[in-house]
Structure 1
Amino acid sequence: MHAVVSRLTVYPVKSFAGHVVEAFDVGVDGPVGDRRWMVVDERGDTLTARKFPQMLGAHAEPVGGGLRLVSPALGALDVAEPVDGPVVAVTASRLDTATDAGDDAAAWCSELVGRRARLVWLDDTARRGMSEKHGGTSADPISLVDTAPLHVFSTASLREVSAWAEQLLDVRRFRPNVVVDGELEPFAEDGWDRFSLGPVDVRFAEHTGRCVMTTVDPDTYAKGKEPLRALARHRRWDGEVRFGIQAVPLSAGRVSVGDPVTG
């Protein structure tokens, strides 16, 4: 395999825009700071860009001991990790409580989504384990991701899907943590059982099931039919359309753009 890491992204808040970086530290629960926060409604149900696409235009930048929430319409708000904040009920899969980030963050998020909302924080990823359905066990800690700690695909695969869809698809539609480039056939990652991203050893968990979020333009929030229509023609099995792989780190380390991908 002749390939390197070409793009790295963390998503501090679930469904917010990604934060593109040159390097990130990886633990067994994934990239440090990835999806430790999420927006919930008054009942504790998770709010995502599937229903509120404007969330894709909000950014969360890691700052010392917390986040800076940034939106063109709402400006910036610094939010500290609510280490001593109130614990509230949430209805995320395999998680029943999180820590509330306070009224200022709640007001900011409520304005963003246009309804009453709260920002909550997962204090310890050990409280939430992977599902066996998604290639893990309850002993595999994860953040507030849907299924697994790492999402990986190649630029060759993205180009192939773009060709099927007959349009240039923005990588942001697919929300990867790691994009790989090199002398690879499209979808070569489908066969990666064990591999390494620089110093970090990784194992395959499952092929990534895709949802309607991929049909939303990350800049205009306009919804279309692609790439789901193209993927449904070429990449459908077990009742889902799939693109990319979900993976679990087997070791810790710092992954950087340009690191070799081996396996």
Structure 2
Amino acid sequence: MAAPFLLSDLYIYPVKSLGGIRLTEAHIEPRGLRHDRRWLIVDEKNRFMTQRQTAAMAHLKVSPAYNGFLLSHQQRPELLPLYVPFAATPEKTLFVTIWDDMVFAWRAKPECDEWLSEALGQPCKLVYMSDMVRRDVEPERNPEGQLVSFADGYPFLLIGQESLADLNARLATPVGMERFRPNLVFSGGEPFAEDGWEQFTIGDATFRAVRGCGRCVLTTIDPATAQKSPQGEPLRTLAGYRTEDSKVLFGQNVTGPGRGTLRVGDQVHIIIRKNQ
């Protein structure tokens, strides 16, 4: 009898494109896991910033704190860690742009903007997505009217441990799962088993795998050094066997039930497979 699929890791990323926090239990909300990508760093034009253009963001580490998190700079100890609460207050607001969407956001405290501007060497602001904001998953793939936070396009990203193992077996220097920034990691099955899932449950919560996740240059940035791989790895190797419609795919973009609780060790059951 085949071993069951198990939820092996849970991650949230409080600030888009910064480091994650590993959890043993997480609550599901309409936009994904609670506290996931509700904060965003924007530039002087109020446009979102990511490691794609600003690799130095990889130097900023996120660690849990009471009712919030700490930001620290791994190469500048003179910058004292900055405490950020999980939620902001609507004292100051502005409109920000993320991809093709313009959304309403709440400003962080001025000291947050000052700290980040110093840490990244350019003027920037920290903003928060409140529960009043509606940002939809791409409409043509979203019959349920699902919402998303400041994540690229979907509330959850799912990756199998065996998929990473398959990739690492092809690389001269293995990479960690943090390169791919998943929320949900499972063990069991064959490499890329998740490609064939359409509907599945984790514990009591039901999810839908919508489409493969197209990967970008961010995966080539070493989170320990903020340096891009001169060989373009692991993207280069992935492109050799995971390219479809000009996109390099790794992991599945997923929508969820809007409420519930997940725990590491929960069983994963496949309800409907694609092309069934």
| TM-score (ref. length: structure 2) | 0.89
Distance, in Å, in 2 between the alignment partners of 1:132 and 1:238 is 20
Moved more, 250-259 or 114-123: 250-259
How far the C-alpha of 1:251 sits from its partner, in A, is: 4.9
Distance, in Å, in 1 between the alignment partners of 2:101 and 2:48 is 13
> In the alignment, which of 101, 104, 107 is matched to residue 97 of structure 1?
104
Q: Determine if contact 1:16/1:58 at 8 Å carries over to the other structure.
A: yes
Distance, in Å, in 2 between the alignment partners of 1:204 and 1:213 is 22
> In the alignment, which of 58, 61, 80 is matched to residue 60 of structure 2?
58
Is 1:205–2:207 an aligned residue pair?
no
Change (3 A) 1:219 1:143: same
Question: Residue 153 of structure 2 aligns with which residue?
Answer: 147
Question: Residue 181 of structure 1 aligns with which residue?
Answer: 187
Task: Give secondary structure in 2 for the equivalent of 1:127.
Answer: coil
Distance, in Å, in 1 between the alignment partners of 2:212 and 2:90 is 38
Distance, in Å, in 2 between the alignment partners of 1:189 and 1:112 is 38
Code of the aligned partner of 1:78: Y
Runs of 4+ in structure 1 deviating by more than 4 angstroms, as ranges, are 61-66
* Structure 1 vs Structure 2 CA RMSD: 1.8
Question: Residue 24 of structure 1 aligns with which residue?
Answer: 26
Q: Determine if contact 2:212/2:250 at 8 Å carries over to the other structure.
A: yes
Alignment of 1:226-237 (within 5 A): 226-237=233-244
Percent identity of the aligned residues?
Answer: 34
Question: Residue 222 of structure 2 aligns with which residue?
Answer: 217
How far the C-alpha of 1:166 sits from its partner, in A, is: 3.1
How far the C-alpha of 1:88 sits from its partner, in A, is: 1.0
How far the C-alpha of 1:145 sits from its partner, in A, is: 0.4
Structure 2: give runs of 5+ residues left out of the alignment. Answer: 271-276
Alignment of 1:69-148 (within 5 A): 69-72=71-74, 73=76, 74-80=79-85, 81-92=87-98, 93-124=100-131, 126-132=133-139, 135-136=141-142, 139-148=145-154
How far the C-alpha of 1:43 sits from its partner, in A, is: 0.7
Distance, in Å, in 1 between the alignment partners of 2:256 and 2:10 is 15
> In the alignment, which of 263, 272, 276 is matched to residue 256 of structure 1?
263
Distance, in Å, in 1 between the alignment partners of 2:157 and 2:40 is 18
Question: Residue 201 of structure 2 aligns with which residue?
Answer: 196
How far the C-alpha of 1:107 sits from its partner, in A, is: 0.6
Structure 1: give runs of 5+ residues left out of the alignment. Answer: none
Code of the aligned partner of 2:222: D
Q: Deviations over 1:195-215 (max 9, x none)?
A: 011221100111000000101
Moved more, 71-80 or 166-175: 71-80
Q: How many residues align?
A: 261
Distance, in Å, in 2 between the alignment partners of 1:203 and 1:125 is 25
Moved more, 186-195 or 138-147: 138-147
Q: Determine if contact 1:200/1:251 at 8 Å carries over to the other structure.
A: no
Change (3 A) 1:253 1:246: same
Q: Determine if contact 1:130/1:138 at 8 Å carries over to the other structure.
A: no
How far the C-alpha of 1:24 sits from its partner, in A, is: 0.6
Q: Determine if contact 1:19/1:59 at 8 Å carries over to the other structure.
A: no
| TM-score (ref. length: structure 1) | 0.93
Distance, in Å, in 2 between the alignment partners of 1:254 and 1:71 is 32
Moved more, 99-108 or 55-64: 55-64
Q: Determine if contact 1:38/1:46 at 8 Å carries over to the other structure.
A: yes
Distance, in Å, in 1 between the alignment partners of 2:62 and 2:241 is 35
How far the C-alpha of 1:29 sits from its partner, in A, is: 1.8
Distance, in Å, in 2 between the alignment partners of 1:67 and 1:36 is 12
Q: Deviations over 1:238-258 (max 9, x none)?
A: 121000001000252111111
Code of the aligned partner of 1:203: R
